Amino acid sequence: MNTLVVVDAANVVGSVPDGWWRDRRGAAERLRDSLVRYAEEGLPGYPGPLEVVLVVEGAARGVESVPGVRVESASGSGDDRIVEVAAGAECRPCLVVTADRELRSRVGETGAECAGPRTVRP
């Protein structure tokens, strides 16, 4: 079974002060595109292929999926959607990429592991 990797788009995009706030949707699309290689190659400790899910919210809603990265647009709280996706991992490993402490605690209750934004952003 492939590891499920759930990426908190708002948190990861916000971890680098590169002007993302001027174009939140564009920043989410750039992040999505950079995740494609991890779907095939894997991440440290998580060999590929991986199932990568990018959860977007707010102004980034509507970003389309691409081969290798499924995009989930949260209708409400992005954190709530991330917890739902992680809980749906069933019996396979799940890694949630976020620096949000409260979210880390919540997804930890589902059995997911957590890693910080630098896992997917150099």
User: What's the mean per-residue pLDDT of the chain?
Assistant: 94
Measured torsion, CA atoms of residues 89, 93, 98, 100, in degrees rounded to the nearest 10: 70
Residue 18 is classified by DSSP as S
Q: Which two tokens stand for residue 88?
A: 């749906």
Residues near 9 by beta carbon (within 8 Å), at least 6 away in sequence:
28, 31, 32, 54, 55, 56, 57, 60, 78
pLDDT tens, the chain, 122 aa long: 799 999 999 999 999 888 888 899 999 999 999 999 999 999 999 999 999 999 999 989 999 999 999 999 999 899 999 999 999 998 899 999 999 999 999 999 999 999 999 999 86
Are 113 and 95 in contact, with CB atoms under 8 Å apart?
A: yes
Q: So what's the pLDDT on residue 19?
A: 82
Are 69 and 49 in contact, with CB atoms under 8 Å apart?
A: no
Q: Which two tokens stand for residue 68?
A: 């290798």
CA distances from 106 to 27, 97, 101, 103, 109 (A): 26, 13, 9, 5, 5
| Residues 25-50: tens digit of each pLDDT | 999 999 999 999 999 999 999 999 99
Q: So what's the pLDDT on residue 16?
A: 86
